[in-house]
Amino acid sequence: MKQSDYLKVLKLAKRTLEESQNWGEDELYKAPVKNISLPVQPQATELKNNNKLSVEELKNKVLNCKDCALGKTRLNAVFGEGSSSAEIMFVGEGPGFDEDHQGRPFIGKAGQFLTNLIELMGYSRDSVYIANIVKCHPMKDPSNPELRGNDRPPTDLEVSECSKYLEAQIAAINPKVIITLGKPSARYFLKTDMAMGAIRGQFRDYNGIKLMPTYHPSYLIRNGCVFGKKDQGQEVTKLKKEVWTDLKKVMDYLKTGKI
């Protein structure tokens, strides 16, 4: 391992230890050693993973897709990113302003929050896979992609047009666990309108893959959850504990193979 990799691991471990005390955990979670935040080596992945080509082909299709109305107004299609041999796949609802501008998933405020959560779990962002149910930015006012706060959830029609790509991504990556973030994503997989509070935290089966629904990072941010600071109020502490409980279930499953 390179010296810079060691430093990266140490830095993450220190942050995890400090932060875990704020997330209902009194000792550092012992993630499986092989998953501790080592950057994925692109070459090794390419050699190991014979799905690589199909993920790339799929990406090209998405970048050129105009199958639904979102394709006409997006600035950039957002395919998804991460390790093509990831054990965990996070699925959000759709690109927002920042993602539309940069063509990458979860890179705005919610994305930073998600990255922190991933690292708190003992993984690095590039060792998991991050995608959305739709690949182009759903906007309240589609004529104005330069307006912040113009995001909306995708419609059922947009989801049904785009889901072929998500399904192909899942088939190519074949994760052990899918973590759905927020209601539109849980709703797509579970075909339910139940509130997040009622469906989060319980493992489901999705075509043989374990699926764990939890809250969307934007919802957590809106409700006062922060990293690196003391919680303001019991509701925040409760919410953080809930998310952490959900994520720990995933970590335990990946460690032991049991739920």
Choice from 82, 95, 138, 213 touching ligand URA (CB under 6 A): 95
Choice from 96, 122, 138, 213 touching ligand URA (CB under 6 A): 96
Choice from 77, 88, 89, 172 touching ligand SF4 (CB under 6 A): 77
Looking at residues 35 to 74 of the shown chain, list those that interact with ligand URA (rule: CB under 6 A). Answer: none
Looking at residues 48 to 67 of the shown chain, list those that interact with ligand SF4 (rule: CB under 6 A). Answer: 62, 65-67
Choice from 35, 90, 92, 178 touching ligand URA (CB under 6 A): 92
Size of the site for ligand URA (CB under 6 A): 11
Q: Beta partners for 129?
A: 82, 89
Looking at residues 109 to 148 of the shown chain, list those that interact with ligand SF4 (rule: CB under 6 A). Answer: 134-136
Q: Is 110 in the site for ligand URA (CB under 6 A)?
A: yes
> With respect to ligand SF4, which residue has the nearer C-beta, 159 or 220?
159
How far apart are alpha carbons 134 and 187 in whole angstroms? 13
First to last CA, the chain: 33
Looking at residues 128 to 167 of the shown chain, list those that interact with ligand URA (rule: CB under 6 A). Answer: 132
Choice from 70, 79, 88, 99 touching ligand URA (CB under 6 A): 99
Q: How far is the CB of 240 from ligand URA (least distance, A)?
A: 19
Q: How far is the CB of 213 from ligand URA (least distance, A)?
A: 14
Q: Is 82 in the site for ligand URA (CB under 6 A)?
A: no
Q: Is 166 in the site for ligand SF4 (CB under 6 A)?
A: no
Q: Beta partners for 132?
A: 92
Which residues here bind ligand URA, judged by CB under 6 A? 92-96, 99, 105-106, 110-111, 132
